[in-house]
Copies of this chain bind each other. A is one copy, B any other.
Amino acid sequence: MDLTCPLPLQDYPYVLLAHGGGGRLMQQLIDRLFRAAFTSVANHDAAVLSLGGDRLAFTTDSYVVNPLFFPGGDIGELAVNGTVNDLAMAGARPLYLSVGFILEEGLPMATLWRVVQSMARAAERAQVAIVTGDTKVVDRGKGDGMFINTAGIGRVETREPIAPDRVQVGDVAIINGDLGRHGLAVMLARDALEFESPIESDTAPLAELVLALLENDIQPHMLRDLTRGGLVASLHETATAARVTIEIDEPVIPVREDVAGACEILGFDPLYVANEGRFVVFVAENQVDRTLEILRRFEVGAGAVEIGRVTAAGSAGVVARTALGIRRPIDLLSGEQLPRIC
C-alpha cells in the first residue's frame, strides 16, 4: 500500500463539513482515500455478497442529524429507514439491522428511550428485525447528544444487477414524489424558524415499492435514494458511472408550494436538498407506464412522476430543461447546502 496520502493534503489538510455532504468533496474522499485502502468496497449504497446460495446486500450508515427530533421524524426513525432504503436500492428485501449508539454523557435517559421506541416502531413498519447492538458513552462535550449507526442485511430479489453503469441512452428517470421536505424540516427545526405551514420530513421506508416493482417484472437499471445532495447528487453519481447525459424536465419536478417558498427565502435549491423517502428509478421506456402505475399504488409513491431521460452516451452530465425550454447544466455542489441533515 502506498504510504503517501492519496488526497492532495495541500488542498484539504483538514476534514471539512463538506466532506460529509454528499457532494464533490465526499466523492473525492471516497474515491481517492477510502478506495485506495479498502479495495473491496462497493460502488453503490450496499455491497452484494454471495453467501450460502443467496445473494445478500450489506450496508451501513451513521446518523448525526441535528436536532434529534424534527417535524415528521427523529434520528431513530431516520436510522432505520435510511438503512432499509439503502438495502432496497440494491434490489434487496431488508431483513436484519444492527444498531450502534454513541451517547454523550448527560443525555437525558428519557430522550434515549423516546428514540429507541421510535426505532422499534420504524423497524416494525419496515418489517426488519433489530438483532444486535452496541452502546458507547463519550464524555460531555465530546459528542452531540446521540449518534446512531445502523448496518443492514437483506436478500437480493433481482437476478439482473442494479447499478449506475447499467443505465442506457433512452432510459427514463422516475421519482416517487415531491422533493425537499426532509432537509428543510430539519433546517427549520434547528434554527427554530417558523413558517405558516409546518414542513414535515418525508422519512419513509421504500422497500415495499421496490419489491412491488420487482414482483411485477419491472427491471430497474438503477435505483438511488435522494438523500445527501438531493436529486442532483444522485443523478450525477449515475451520469458519472454510466458516462451518460441525463436530461431532466425542471417544471415537472414536484416541489410543494410551502417548500418552494421556504427554499426561496433561505436561498436553497430544492433539487439539492436531501429527502429521506424519495428515490429515482431508471427503467427502459417500455416499462414507464407500468412502473408509474405500480408506484402510485403506495401512499409514498402517490406522487410518482417521470422527470427526465438519458439522452446521450460518452460524456457525463446532468442537464435541466427549464420552463422556458432552455437547457442548462446542473453541477454537483462541492459540499452540502445543509450540513447534518441525516
Residues of A within 8 A of B (CB): 1, 3, 5-7, 9, 12-21, 26, 29-30, 33-34, 37-38, 40-42, 46-47, 49, 51-54, 56, 58-64, 66, 95-96, 98-110, 112-113, 116-117, 119-121, 123, 129-139, 141-144, 147, 149, 151, 153, 155, 339-340, 342
B20 touches A340 (CB 8 A): no
B15 touches A132 (CB 8 A): no
Among candidates B41, B51, B60, residue contacting A56 with C-beta atoms closer than 8 Å: B51
In the bound complex, residues from chain B placing their C-beta under 8 Å from that of A105 are: 14-17
Among candidates B33, B38, B95, B109, residue contacting A112 with C-beta atoms closer than 8 Å: B33
A108 CB to closest chain B CB (Å) equals 6
In the assembled complex, the Cα of A327 lies from the Cα of B3 at a distance in Å of 54
In the bound complex, residues from chain B placing their C-beta under 8 Å from that of A15 are: 103-109, 112, 137
Q: A5-B113, A15-B106, A113-B5 are in contact. Are A134 and B62 (CB under 8 A)?
A: yes
A122 CB to closest chain B CB (Å) equals 11
A38 touches B120 (CB 8 A): yes
A4 CB to closest chain B CB (Å) equals 9
In the bound complex, residues from chain B placing their C-beta under 8 Å from that of A132 are: 41-42, 46-47, 58-60
Chain B's closest residue to A50 (CB) is B52
In the assembled complex, the Cα of A105 lies from the Cα of B64 at a distance in Å of 13
A38 touches B103 (CB 8 A): no
In the bound complex, residues from chain B placing their C-beta under 8 Å from that of A42 are: 131-132
Tell me whether chain A's interface is mostly helix, strand or loop, or mixed.
mixed
A109 touches B13 (CB 8 A): yes
A3 CB to closest chain B CB (Å) equals 8
B58 touches A98 (CB 8 A): yes
In the bound complex, residues from chain B placing their C-beta under 8 Å from that of A103 are: 15, 19-20
In the assembled complex, the Cα of A142 lies from the Cα of B143 at a distance in Å of 5
A20 touches B135 (CB 8 A): yes
A102 touches B137 (CB 8 A): no
In the bound complex, residues from chain B placing their C-beta under 8 Å from that of A117 are: 1, 3, 37
Q: A20-B137, A52-B155, A60-B132 are in contact. Are A38 and B119 (CB under 8 A)?
A: yes
In the assembled complex, the Cα of A59 lies from the Cα of B130 at a distance in Å of 11
B120 touches A1 (CB 8 A): yes
In the assembled complex, the Cα of A142 lies from the Cα of B67 at a distance in Å of 12
Chain B's closest residue to A43 (CB) is B132
In the assembled complex, the Cα of A102 lies from the Cα of B49 at a distance in Å of 25
A165 CB to closest chain B CB (Å) equals 18
A-B contact pairs, 27 of them (CB 8 A): A3-B117, A6-B113, A7-B113, A14-B109, A15-B104, A15-B106, A15-B107, A15-B112, A20-B103, A20-B135, A26-B135, A30-B133, A33-B116, A37-B119, A38-B99, A38-B133, A40-B130, A41-B133, A47-B132, A52-B52, A56-B153, A60-B149, A62-B134, A137-B339, A138-B147, A138-B340, A141-B141
Q: A132-B41, A132-B46 are in contact. Are A101 and B62 (CB under 8 A)?
A: yes
In the bound complex, residues from chain B placing their C-beta under 8 Å from that of A106 are: 14-15
A107 CB to closest chain B CB (Å) equals 4
A133 touches B34 (CB 8 A): yes
In this complex, the member of A3, A14, A106 whose beta carbon has the largest number of chain B beta carbons within 10 angstroms is A14
